[in-house]
Amino acid sequence: MSGFATRAIKAAGRVPASPQPPVTVPIYQTSTFEVGSTQDLEDILEFRVPGHSYTRYSNPTHAALEDALAELEEGEAAHLTASGMAAVHGAILSFVGSGDEVLAPAAVYGGTYGLLNGVLRRLGIAARYVRTGDPEAVLAAIGPATRLIWLETIANPTTEMADLGAIAAGARERGIPVVVDNTFASPYLCNPLSLGADLVVHSLTKYVGGHSDITLGAIVGGVARVRAAREVVINSGGNAQPLEAFLALRGLRTLALRMDRHSASALAVGEALEADPSFSRVWYPGLASHPQAALAARELRGGMAGGMMAVELTAGREAAARFVERVQVAVHATSLAGPESLVSHPASSSHRQFSDADLAAAGLSPGMLRVSIGLEDPEDLIADFVEAAA
């Protein structure tokens, strides 16, 4: 084995031994792994034994984050996905098929609405929408074809909250599984599995990543449930990448500190905007004026409610359009949960698929703004929003 090319490939691919464990999980930036026998490879590919063969299936950096998420969400297992929407797709299709129906929030995230009403409808999967703030209304809406109830801990963007425990208990009596999108709350503020949910999904792009620099998702739950969802994700190519998993592990370490700050700042901003005549309404679960303030205090850690709020300007849609152009501290952009505050207009962005009738049915208005409160000084944000709305 003396040829230069052969020696270069072997030498550059040699993994060094390290007697000291690293403080942070390394990035296993490799697409494939060496295995022994053909039986070894088959067993690894079928997840019968621990190990890795191909990063579309698993990767050590992925595994570290999956283990951490399962622990923090009080689940047995987790699987990473390329994005939050890949997690939504994998979770839903692990429960339903042609002829089945999904019950979802009337104010469901626009990407989930697009998946249900666009892609999955073509596969013969129906969706019906209900205001999930009323547990009895959700349970009463279950029909003969209903095979899944989809919930959001805090609805995007109306901040309406679902009574996860009550809905999950009633659904279990009827044999209907419940999946919860816990993105707005994060594992720090709420653990839906402990309240009876069958699966939890996250856009880790948001609070877990926390720095507006990754696109990543996750599915968390019991071993059998995650295995079924993982099969959908693997076979549809919705796999995560090692760098994103590494960055999400970094974000997870400071999640508690950031969520404390997001929550405290959002409460301060919400109280200030409620007192300003330019704002006709502020929706934030941490405010006493929120319709489900008592539920938020019970369902979310320590009464904190995260950094997401919705506001309505007194002057309506035109004022909302001006507002997003005039902010100086906050940024007009999609996404959420980064260190910078972001504002967006759902009717033209995340919920652009909704007609005006759909918006009204979901509790949105054409002039509603979604606000992601970041980590800036809250006094600066208040001044920025008041001036932009004037």
Q: Specify the pLDDT at position 353.
A: 67
Least confident of 16-30, 236-250, 292-306: 16-30
CA distances from 271 to 274, 299, 384 (A): 5, 21, 15
pLDDT value at position 351? 67
Looking at residue 134, its pLDDT comes to 93
Class of domain 38-253: alpha beta
SS3 (DSSP) at 332: strand
**Beta carbons within 10 angstroms of residue 110's beta carbon:** 18
165 neighbors 197 (Cβ within 8 angstroms): no
Q: What does R_g of the chain's alpha carbons equal in angstroms?
A: 22
Q: Which residues lie below 8 Å from residue 27, measured CB to CB, with a gap of 6+?
A: 61, 242, 243, 245, 246
- Annotated catalytic residue, options 57, 109, 113, 129: 109
Structure tokens at 365: 């208005």
- On whether the CB atoms of residues 31 and 55 are closer than 8 A, the answer is yes
CATH topology agreement for domains 38-253 and 255-389: no
56 is annotated as an active-site residue: yes
| pLDDT (tens digit per residue) in 40-74 | 999 999 999 999 999 999 999 999 999 999 999 99
3-class DSSP state for residue 246? Answer: helix
Residue 57 annotated in active site: no
Given a cut of 80, whether residue 215 has pLDDT beyond it is: yes
Confidence of residue 354 (pLDDT cuts 50, 70, 90): low
Residue of 131, 206, 225, 370 with catalytic role: 206
Q: Which amino acid is at 116?
A: L
Q: Exactly one of 43, 54, 56, 260 is catalytic; name it.
A: 56
118: exposed, middle or buried (Cβ count in 10 Å: 0-12, 13-18, 19+) = exposed
Q: Pick the closest to residue 74 from 194, 160, 183 (CA basis).
A: 194
Helices 223-236 and 84-93: crossing angle, nearest 10°? 110
Burial class (CB in 10 A: 0-12, 13-18, 19+), 93: buried
Query: What is the H or E stretch that residue 200 is in?
Result: strand 199-203
**pLDDT band for position 112 (50/70/90)?**
very high
Q: What is the pLDDT of residues 183-212, one digit of tens each?
A: 999 999 999 999 999 999 999 999 999 999
What is the band of 33 on the pLDDT scale with cuts at 50, 70, 90?
A: very high
Report the amino acid identity of residue 78. Answer: A
Name the active-site residue from 181, 188, 258, 261.
181
| Model confidence pLDDT, tens digit, residues 123-169 | 999 999 999 999 999 999 999 999 999 999 999 889 999 999 999 99
Q: Which residues contact 299 (CB under 8 A, 6 or more apart)?
A: 153, 161, 163, 164, 165, 190, 195
Choose which CATH entry (3.90.1150.10, 3.40.50.2300, 3.30.2130.10, 3.30.300.30) describes domain 255-389: 3.90.1150.10
Domain boundaries, given as residue ranges, for the chain:
38-253, 255-389
- Amino acid 50: pLDDT: 92
| 260 among known catalytic residues | no
Say which amino acid occupies 291.
Answer: P
List Cα–Cα distances, 24 to 20, 65, 121, 250, 251, in angstroms.
12, 11, 43, 8, 12
Q: What percentage of the chain carries pLDDT values higher than 90?
A: 83
Average pLDDT score over the chain: 93
Residue 109 bears catalytic tag: yes
